[in-house]
């Protein structure tokens, strides 16, 4: 019999610094944040402290996971850390996190650099490790501090993104949901539309001053740049296809899905996709008003809340879809029991 | 595809404009409520109502509501 990969538990950590709409309003009084919030569905974001890194937040999320679920850390035999804001170029942040968490030195550990598709990719790798019997208990951590990439005067991106880390335990033995089949996608043509261009080896940080776009956002190649319209068009085009391919790959049809949990980019984008895919409200989950778009952590955060709110029942079929920076996208199915 | 209908659809996306205050010649950037997010709202509306994918450039290179309609028409 082939081994199964199950999601055993999820916890997440938000940094304590708050950037709520009242603060944004004082910083950008010309901007009608209340109106914007009606569309984005975001009331608050958490921002990592100056000396708080993705590695630090990853440790906090994992400690919370162990504590809340009485998990014995010595049983973890693999650690995957998904981040695009690592502590250093090298070593891999996962090695630092292994030490800080006191995981066995026999664990495999590595970072993967993906954004909004990262959690689903991480589940795919975790499942592969378990099914091929290379690991029994995989700790998947998604941790991101995009706030450190965003220009302080870039009101659009500051309104959308928040920092967070989520820790998920994928196990061969215990869990509440079995991980199904995967659908993946990549299109590097979209690289330039969501990018922090400078600071790595292709182009070093420059002294050039920030430019102001037509909406009054400050930006430079040293900071996070997002072409909102292009990203939106990409999702309208690719996500409905991703959803139907994921459904087909799992020998299901769309009506079999009890709950759709998509990457929580912002409420307007989610509702546009919901409308396009004709998904009823009762089957569509949105949870991001308290933390904003936390990149690779949005899906585990939403899963955590959907479970606590009893939106996930026994014998449910849940579709997960992550999509964004890269472009990169991935979908899978969870079956609860 | 009619200009009058498009102007109506365009206006419906806004919450704070008086009914029938937007015309084909309205310079949409002058509408108080206009924002980068409203550009996405218009793109979503064009996709839903007209099955046409407007791009960021289409909006960037337009000045009036009619300009956007002209871009939509040739797609």
Confidence class of residue B50 from pLDDT cuts 50, 70 and 90? very high
Among A97, A16, A90, CA closest to A54: A97
pLDDT > 70: percent of chain A: 99
pLDDT tens track for A176-211: 999 999 999 999 999 999 999 999 999 999 988 889
Q: A261 pairs with which residues across the strands?
A: A320
* A29: pLDDT strictly greater than 90: no
Q: Which part of chain A is CATH 3.40.47.10? A: 6-176, 181-336
Other CB atoms within 10 Å distance of the CB of residue A90: 9
What pLDDT does B47 receive? 92
Dihedral sign from CA coordinates of A147, A326, A91, A295: positive
pLDDT tens track for A85-123: 999 999 999 999 999 999 999 999 999 999 999 999 999
What pLDDT does A107 receive? 98
Query: Which stretches of A217-336 are assigned E, i.e. beta strand?
Result: 218-219, 224-226, 259-262, 317-324, 328-336
A99, exposed or middle or buried, with CB in 10 Å at 0-12, 13-18, 19+?
A: exposed
Which 222-241 residues of chain A touch chain B by CB within 8 A?
Answer: 227-230, 232-233, 236-237
Nearest CA of chain B to the CA of A204: how many Å? Answer: 28
Q: How far apart are CA A334 and CA B5, in angstroms?
A: 44
Query: Cis bond leading into A62, ω under 30°?
Result: no
B56 with A230: Cβ contact below 8 A: yes
ipTM of the complex: 0.86
Nearest CA of chain A to the CA of B52: how many Å? Answer: 11
B37 with A276: Cβ contact below 8 A: no
**CATH superfamily of the A6-176 domain:** Thiolase/Chalcone synthase (3.40.47.10)
Task: Show Cβ contacts of residue A90 under 8 Å, excluding neighbours closer than 6 positions.
Answer: none
Nearest CA of chain A to the CA of B68: how many Å? Answer: 15
B56 with A229: Cβ contact below 8 A: yes
| Contact criterion met (CB below 8 Å) for A167 and A140 | yes
Confidence class of residue A51 from pLDDT cuts 50, 70 and 90? very high
Top-confidence range, A142-146, A210-214, B70-74: A142-146
Chain A to chain B Cβ contacts (< 8 Å): 57
| Contact criterion met (CB below 8 Å) for B30 and B51 | no
* A285: pLDDT strictly greater than 60: yes
| Numbered residues of chain B with Cβ closer than 8 Å to any chain A Cβ | 15-16, 29, 32-33, 35-37, 39-41, 43-44, 47-48, 53, 55-56, 59-60
> For B48-71, what is the HEC assignment?
HHHCCCCCHHHHHCCCEHHHHHHH
One of A116, A193, A217, A222 is an active-site residue; which one? A116
Task: Show Cβ contacts of residue A29 under 8 Å, excluding neighbours closer than 6 positions.
Answer: none
B3, exposed or middle or buried, with CB in 10 Å at 0-12, 13-18, 19+?
A: middle
Among B23, B44, B25, B42, CA closest to B34: B42
Domains of chain B (ranges, CATH numbers): 3-73 (1.10.1200.10)
Other CB atoms within 10 Å distance of the CB of residue B64: 17
- CB contacts of B16 in chain A (<8 Å) are 35
| Residue of chain A whose alpha carbon sits nearest to that of B40 | A229
A293 classed as catalytic:
yes
A116 classed as catalytic:
yes
CA distances from residue A70 to A60, A94, A102, A138, A169 in whole angstroms, order as listed: 15, 22, 16, 16, 12
- CB contacts of B59 in chain A (<8 Å) are 229
- CB contacts of B15 in chain A (<8 Å) are 35
Among A331, A332, A325, CA closest to A114: A325
B41 with A230: Cβ contact below 8 A: no
CATH class, range A181-336: alpha beta
Dihedral sign from CA coordinates of A76, A132, A118, A81: positive
């Amino acid at each position: 019999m082939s081994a199964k990969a199950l999601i055993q538990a999820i916890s997440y950590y938000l940094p304590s610094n708050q950037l709520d709409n009242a603060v944004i309003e004082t910083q950008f009084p010309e901007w009608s944040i209340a109106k914007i919030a009606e569309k984005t569905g975001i009331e608050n974001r958490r921002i990592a402290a100056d000396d708080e890194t993705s590695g630090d937040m990853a440790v906090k999320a994992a400690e919370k996971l162990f504590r809340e679920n009485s998990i014995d850390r010595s049983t973890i035999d693999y650690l995957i850390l998904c981040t695009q804001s690592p502590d250093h170029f090298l070593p891999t942040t996962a090695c630092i996190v292994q030490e800080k968490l006191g995981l066995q030195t026999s664990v495999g550990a590595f970072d993967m650099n993906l954004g909004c598709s990262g959690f689903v990719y991480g589940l795919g790798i975790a499942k592969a490790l378990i099914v091929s019997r290379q690991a029994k208990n995989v700790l998947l951590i998604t941790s991101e501090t995009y706030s450190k990439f965003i220009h302080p005067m870039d009101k659009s991106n500051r309104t959308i993104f928040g920092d967070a880390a989520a820790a998920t335990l994928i196990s061969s033995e215990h869990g509440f949901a079995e991980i199904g089949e995967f659908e993946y996608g990549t299109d590097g043509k979209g690289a330039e539309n969501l990018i922090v261009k400078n600071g790595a080896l292709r182009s070093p940080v420059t002294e050039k001053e920030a430019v102001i776009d037509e909406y009054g956002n400050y930006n430079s190649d040293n900071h996070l740049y997002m072409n909102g319209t292009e990203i939106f068009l990409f999702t309208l085009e690719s996500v409905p296809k991703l959803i139907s391919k994921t459904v087909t790959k799992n020998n299901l049809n769309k009506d079999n899905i009890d709950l759709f949990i998509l990457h929580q980019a912002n409420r307007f984008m989610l509702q546009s996709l919901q409308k396009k895919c004709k998904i009823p409200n009762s089957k569509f989950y949105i949870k991001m008003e308290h933390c904003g778009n936390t990149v690779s952590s949005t899906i585990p955060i939403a899963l955590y809340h959907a479970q606590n709110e009893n939106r996930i029942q026994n014998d449910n079929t849940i579709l997960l879809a992550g999509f964004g920076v890269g472009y990169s996208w991935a979908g899978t199915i969870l079956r609860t029991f | 595809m009619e200009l009058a209908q498009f102007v109506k659809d365009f206006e419906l996306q806004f919450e704070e404009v008086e009914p029938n205050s937007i015309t084909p010649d309205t310079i949409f950037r002058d509408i108080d409520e206009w924002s980068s997010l409203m550009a996405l709202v218009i793109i979503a509306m064009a996709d839903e109502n007209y099955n046409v994918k407007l791009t960021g450039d289409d909006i960037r290179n337009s000045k009036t509501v009619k300009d956007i309609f002209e871009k939509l028409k040739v797609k």
